[in-house]
Amino acid sequence: MCGIVGVVGNSKAIEIVTTGLSRLEYRGYDSAGVAALDEAGDLHTCKEVGKLAALLEKIPAFTKRVGATSTAIGHTRWATHGEPSVTNAHPHVGTMGPFTLAVVHNGIIENHTALRTKLSASGAKFVSATDTETLPFALAHALQQGAASPLAAVQQLLPTLHGNFALVAMAQGVPDELWGTRRGAPLCVGLGQGAANYLVSDPLALAGICERFMFLEDNDVVHVTPHTIEIFAAGERVVRPVQTLDLSADASGKQGFKHFMLKEIHEQPAVVARILSAHTHATTRLPALEFSPTIAASLASATAINIVACGTAYYAGMVGKYYLEQLARIPVNVDVASEFRYRNPPLVAGGVFIAISQSGETADTLAALEHAKAHGQTILVFTNSPHSSMARAADCTIPLLANREIAVASTKAFTAMVLNLLLFALQLGLQRNLLTAAAVQEVIQQLRELPTQLQEQLEHTVPIQSLANNLATMPGRSLLYLGRGLLAPMASEGAIKIKEISYLHAESYPSGEMKHGPIALVEPGLPVINLAASNDGLLEKTLSNLQEVAARRGEVILIADSAATSQLPANLQAIVITVPTVHPLLLPFSFSIPLQLLAYFTATAKGTDVDQPRNLAKSVTVE
């Protein structure tokens, strides 16, 4: 979703802002802009709709117009209030009397209508349809009303704002100073070397520029100059810890792959190996997730677990439910966060709540987490972003260890979620004396063979490519994905993946549900992708479902291991994609690869923007 970059004290301020914005492109946006102060302290802006490339074309002329500068802010906007347009793009500028400020902002100011009415009555001349534009006017108005400084204006404004947001402001005539604040959306200070400092929504924006960062807490207000960083909480000076981050792997580019998504699909063998090395014991070959004594006690006594997530993370949660119920015999409820947060579900005292999120910033998941926390739950977070808002709010964080995922459609983070959930369930099952050490070691042994198996799958993609070419050019625009047991959430994950990047409509159902409705969709030629394994005890049922599709002349596509495909009735015509035979608990991994690649190759055959699909964002920080 939106990205913020602010610079003070660096003579390459505009270049650093635009490079930073390009690093945040992956988050999804539909317009972009920069503002800078010239040597006289006058404010200039430059904005463009569409991809950053359109803005970059205007930057040489803008840089010439501004001349020497060391103060600049920039933004990539994902439209919420008002269409993507130059007028609605950030930075927004507001003038009241002698005061002019520019603001970039992520998130939503929920009471913007009331603010707009009040500020208009005081003379503010709004030009955009955005909630953001209220911010520079509100700050300028506070200064007009006697606020001692822009810092005081931000401090006065903050308690009046509703919603989740992060903002950075600069003021005309005040070079080398930036002000910022956040609530529910990330903002951090990048500590420059020498006389420069930075404010960004994501440290990745400063890869190669900074290694040390301070992550702001909710309702912190920050004032940054080239030599000073002042942070205030409730009006008092506070110090936030400095974290040193190595961003080199995150900023390593596509490494020869055509898209980040393809690179990330290919990284999965290494991700699995990394997780096993970090989260299993080298000699005992048992899971070794580390929990404090308090968390271990909560887990030992837990009688129910709530898992909450969105999108792909939700389907990982569905797989986790299966693991936890089968291996640790704990009842698990899985909810999409946007439902959980408003349903006010009864939560048992001493319950365990698990949030799963690649970004750790998804607004709905974060709000659900806060709700569970307020109701006395023990909060565990499975996230790929150990410095995220969710990680900071959690009682315990399980790092996914997938390294940065850039493509919007999640692949390696999904695999990392599922693997960490499996290790977690095995560990709980062992602690509860439901599993023997030998049984757990057997699964871990199979997991250790997984990187090689996944690598082999990645090297044999011809049948998937040819199926993808057919799907990309098929006359209809709909697909059905079916699976049972662990393969039911995998069917859903396959369907969301192809929807996200190829824009084909795809429905998913547990196979047994097909005859209760979706079968009405089956007509000659409708592609029905069935997932089946020979060793999960469900094959016979799945084969019956295939017959039901074939009888209605639907196009039967079977993704299955060879023992399962060999049981296909001889008269049944099907397109077959073979996966290796794996331990039944490992099915999500062997099926992920063909499902991800099918989505990827269909999208490339259709020529869509694979890494940044339309309307989607990598980190959804608004409701």
Catalytic site positions: 2, 618
- From 109, 199, 379, 616, residue interacting with ligand G6P (rule: CB under 6 A): 616
Give the CA dihedral 112, 117, 121, 126, nearest 10 degrees.
60
**Contact status, residue 1 vs residue 70, Cβ threshold 8 Å:** no
Taking each continuous run of H as one helix and of E as one strand, the counts in the chain are: 20, 25
**Using CB under 6 A as the criterion, what x/- string covers residues 182-221 for binding ligand G6P?**
----------------------------------------
Site for ligand G6P in 88-147 (CB under 6 A): none
**Contact status, residue 557 vs residue 528, Cβ threshold 8 Å:** yes
Query: If residue 445 lies in a helix (H) or strand (E), which one and from where to where?
Result: helix 437-448
CB-nearer residue toward ligand G6P: 181 or 312: 312
Q: How far apart are CA 72 and CA 549, in angstroms?
A: 60
The amino acid present at 251, given as its one-letter code, is: A
The number of beta carbons lying within 10 Å of the beta carbon of residue 114 is: 13
Q: Does 592 bind ligand G6P (CB under 6 A)?
A: no
CB-nearer residue toward ligand G6P: 181 or 410: 410
**Contact status, residue 305 vs residue 350, Cβ threshold 8 Å:** no
Shortest Å distance, C-beta 357 to ligand G6P: 3
Instruction: Give every CB contact of residue 148 below 8 A, 6+ residues apart in sequence.
Output: none
Q: How far is CA 497 from CA 206, 320, 505, 594, in A?
A: 30, 19, 11, 11
CB-nearer residue toward ligand G6P: 92 or 618: 618
Site for ligand G6P in 300-329 (CB under 6 A): 310-313
**Which residues in 434-446 are b (16+ Cβ under 10 Å) and which e?**
ebeeeebbebbeb
The answer to whether the Cα torsion of 419, 420, 421, 422 is positive or negative is positive
- From 338, 511, 619, 621, residue interacting with ligand G6P (rule: CB under 6 A): 619
CB-nearer residue toward ligand G6P: 164 or 619: 619
Strand pairing category for 229-233 and 220-224: antiparallel
**Contact status, residue 246 vs residue 214, Cβ threshold 8 Å:** no
- Using the contact rule CB under 6 A, the part of the chain among 48-56, 391-399, 408-416, 590-598 near ligand G6P is 408-416
Report phi then psi at 116, rounded to 5: -60, -45
**Contact status, residue 586 vs residue 71, Cβ threshold 8 Å:** no
Place of tokens 């969105």: 310
- Using the contact rule CB under 6 A, the part of the chain among 84-92, 352-360, 369-377, 597-605 near ligand G6P is 352-360
Q: Does 411 bind ligand G6P (CB under 6 A)?
A: no
- From 16, 135, 187, 408, residue interacting with ligand G6P (rule: CB under 6 A): 408
**Count of alpha carbons within 13 angstroms of residue 527, beta-carbon side:** 25
Shortest Å distance, C-beta 571 to ligand G6P: 40
CB-nearer residue toward ligand G6P: 232 or 481: 481
Shortest Å distance, C-beta 405 to ligand G6P: 9
- Report the chain's terminal Cα–Cα distance, integer Å: 12
Site for ligand G6P in 357-396 (CB under 6 A): 357-359, 362, 365
**Which residues in 123-134 are b (16+ Cβ under 10 Å) and which e?**
ebeeebebbbbb
Shortest Å distance, C-beta 179 to ligand G6P: 28
Query: Is residue 473 classed as helix, strand or coil in its secondary structure?
Result: helix
- Using the contact rule CB under 6 A, the part of the chain among 405-413, 436-444, 548-556, 570-578 near ligand G6P is 405-413
- Name the residue whose CB lies closest to ligand G6P: 311
Shortest Å distance, C-beta 302 to ligand G6P: 23
CB-nearer residue toward ligand G6P: 74 or 311: 311
CB-nearer residue toward ligand G6P: 78 or 198: 78
Shortest Å distance, C-beta 310 to ligand G6P: 4
Shortest Å distance, C-beta 341 to ligand G6P: 13
CB-nearer residue toward ligand G6P: 57 or 609: 609
Extract the tokens encoding 208: 């190669």
Query: Is residue 114 classed as helix, strand or coil in its secondary structure?
Result: helix
Shortest Å distance, C-beta 621 to ligand G6P: 10
Site for ligand G6P in 282-301 (CB under 6 A): none
Question: How many residues lie near ligand G6P (CB under 6 A)?
Answer: 15
CB-nearer residue toward ligand G6P: 169 or 262: 262
Q: How far apart are CA 140 and CA 142, in angstroms?
A: 5
- From 191, 393, 419, 620, residue interacting with ligand G6P (rule: CB under 6 A): 620
The number of beta carbons lying within 10 Å of the beta carbon of residue 197 is: 25
Q: Does 410 bind ligand G6P (CB under 6 A)?
A: yes
Shortest Å distance, C-beta 280 to ligand G6P: 24
Q: Footprint of ligand G6P on this chain (CB under 6 A)?
A: 310-313, 357-359, 362, 365, 408-410, 616, 619-620
